C-alpha cells in the first residue's frame, strides 16, 4: 500500500505542530514578611493546558501549631487587594515551617495580568507575608 504525498505532508505538519506547541507558562513568588512577622518563603506555580495550576509553597518563620491560609489575589500585586481565593489552609509544624502542594482551579490561575500570594493567620485574618507572582 502506497501512502499519498498529501497524507505524508499532513502527518509531518501534525508532528511538527505537537513538537513546537507552546509550553504552558510557569510562575514564582518570593514571599516576604509584613509587619515584622518573620514569615518568609517561596511559591512555585506550574500552569497546565487545562487551566489548572500546580502550586508548591515552602514557608518558614511561622508559629508552631498555628493555623494559616495561603491566598491568591488576582488583579493586583498587592496582597489584600483584588479578587482573593484561598489556596490552602495549613498548620505550622513544630519547627514553624509548612510545605505543601495544591492544585488550584482556573479562577485562581493568574496567567495574565497581576497577582500576588499571601500568608494570613486564620484566627484574626492578619496579613503576615506577601509576594508578587511573576509569570514566565
DSSP sequence for 46-93: EE-TTS-EEEEEEEESPPTT-EEEEEEEES-SSTTSSEEEEEEEEE--
The three-point CA angle 121-126-131 to 5° equals 85
- Grid cell digits, residue 135: 509569570
Q: Is the pLDDT of residue 15 over 80?
A: no
CATH classification number, 24-135, choose in 3.40.50.720, 3.20.20.80, 3.40.50.1100, 2.60.40.200: 2.60.40.200
Q: Is the pLDDT of residue 125 over 70?
A: yes
Q: Is the pLDDT of residue 7 over 60?
A: no
- Residue count (the chain): 136
Residues 23-49: b if buried by 16+ CB within 10 A, e if exposed: eeeebbbebeebeebebbbebebebee
For 108, which DSSP code? G
pLDDT digits (tens, 9 = 90+) for 47-83: 898 888 999 999 999 999 999 999 999 888 888 888 8
pLDDT digits (tens, 9 = 90+) for 80-98: 888 888 999 999 999 999 9
For residues 67 and 48, give the distance between their C-alpha atoms in angstroms, rounded to a whole number: 29
Amino acid at each position: 500500500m502506497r501512502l499519498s504525498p498529501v497524507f505524508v505532508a499532513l502527518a509531518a505538519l501534525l508532528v511538527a505542530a505537537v513538537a513546537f506547541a507552546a509550553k504552558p507558562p510557569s510562575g514564582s513568588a518570593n514571599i516576604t514578611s509584613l509587619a515584622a512577622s518573620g514569615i518568609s518563603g517561596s511559591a512555585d506555580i506550574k500552569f497546565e493546558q487545562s487551566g489548572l495550576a500546580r502550586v508548591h509553597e515552602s514557608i518558614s518563620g511561622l508559629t508552631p501549631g498555628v493555623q494559616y491560609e495561603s491566598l491568591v489575589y488576582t488583579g493586583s500585586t498587592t496582597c489584600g487587594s483584588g479578587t482573593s481565593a484561598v489556596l490552602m489552609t495549613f498548620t505550622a509544624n513544630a519547627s514553624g515551617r509548612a510545605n505543601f502542594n495544591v492544585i488550584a482551579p482556573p479562577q485562581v490561575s493568574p496567567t495574565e495580568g497581576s497577582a500576588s500570594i499571601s500568608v494570613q493567620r486564620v484566627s484574626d485574618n492578619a496579613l503576615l507575608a506577601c509576594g508578587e507572582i511573576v509569570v514566565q
